[in-house]
Amino acid sequence: MRVLHVSSEVAPFSKTGGLGDVVAALPQALSALGVEACVATPRYQHVDVSGFIEQPPLEVELGFATEVVRIFETIQSAVRIFFVDHPPSFARSGLYGEHGGDYPDNARRFALFGAAASKLGALVLRPDVLHAHDWQAAPALIYNYARRDEPDFPSTVFTIHNLAFQGRFPGATMDELGFTPELFDPRALEYYGDVNFLKGAVLLADRVTTVSPRYASEIQTSEFGVGLDGVLRQRRQDLVGILNGIDDQVWDPARDVYLPAHFDAANLEGKEECKRALQREFGLPEVSVPLSAAISRLSYQKGFDLITQALPDLLTSNMQFVVLGSGDRSLEEALTELSKRTPEKMAVRIAYDDRLAHLIEAGADLLVVPSRYEPCGLTQLYALRYGTIPIVRATGGLDDSIIDIGESTAGTGFKFSDYSKSALTEACQRAFACYASAGWKPLVERAMAQDFSWRRSARDYLDLYSALFHS
Contacts with ligand ADP, residue ranges (CB under 6 A): 17-18, 21, 295-297, 324-326, 352-354, 357, 376-379
91 touches 45 (CB < 8 A): yes
Q: Which of 429, 426, 410 is nearest to 418 (CA)?
A: 426
Residue 458 beta carbon to ligand ADP: minimum distance, rounded to whole angstroms: 17
Q: Which is nearer to ligand ADP, 21 or 365 (by Cβ)? A: 21
Distance (Å, whole) CA 123 – CA 117:
10
Distance (Å, whole) CA 359 – CA 191:
44
Residue 77 beta carbon to ligand ADP: minimum distance, rounded to whole angstroms: 18
State how far the alpha carbon of 168 is from the alpha carbons of 164, 174, 192, 218, 312, in Å: 11, 11, 10, 21, 39
Residue 110 beta carbon to ligand ADP: minimum distance, rounded to whole angstroms: 18
Q: Which is nearer to ligand ADP, 17 or 213 (by Cβ)? A: 17
Q: Which is nearer to ligand ADP, 130 or 359 (by Cβ)? A: 359
Residue 445 beta carbon to ligand ADP: minimum distance, rounded to whole angstroms: 23
Q: Which is nearer to ligand ADP, 207 or 349 (by Cβ)? A: 349
Q: Which is nearer to ligand ADP, 89 or 296 (by Cβ)? A: 296
Q: Which is nearer to ligand ADP, 253 or 325 (by Cβ)? A: 325
Q: Which is nearer to ligand ADP, 220 or 296 (by Cβ)? A: 296
Looking only at the bridges linking them, the beta strands covering 53-62 and 168-170 are unpaired
Distance (Å, whole) CA 106 – CA 41:
15
Residue 417 beta carbon to ligand ADP: minimum distance, rounded to whole angstroms: 20
Residue 352 beta carbon to ligand ADP: minimum distance, rounded to whole angstroms: 4
Longest dimension (CA), the chain: 70
Q: Which is nearer to ligand ADP, 179 or 373 (by Cβ)? A: 373
Q: Which is nearer to ligand ADP, 52 or 454 (by Cβ)? A: 454
Query: Which amino acid, 212?
Result: S
In sequence order, the 6+-apart residues with CB closer than 8 A to the CB of 332 are 298, 325, 326, 350
Distance (Å, whole) CA 61 – CA 86:
14
Distance (Å, whole) CA 402 – CA 228:
27
Residue 179 beta carbon to ligand ADP: minimum distance, rounded to whole angstroms: 28
Q: Which is nearer to ligand ADP, 19 or 130 (by Cβ)? A: 19
In sequence order, the 6+-apart residues with CB closer than 8 A to the CB of 335 are 298, 304, 307, 308, 323, 325, 348, 350
Comparing every residue's Cβ against ligand ADP, the nearest one is 18
84 touches 69 (CB < 8 A): yes
Q: Which is nearer to ligand ADP, 28 or 326 (by Cβ)? A: 326
Residue 321 beta carbon to ligand ADP: minimum distance, rounded to whole angstroms: 15
- Partners of 471 in the β-ladder: none
Residue 347 beta carbon to ligand ADP: minimum distance, rounded to whole angstroms: 14
Residue 48 beta carbon to ligand ADP: minimum distance, rounded to whole angstroms: 21
Q: Which is nearer to ligand ADP, 109 or 349 (by Cβ)? A: 349
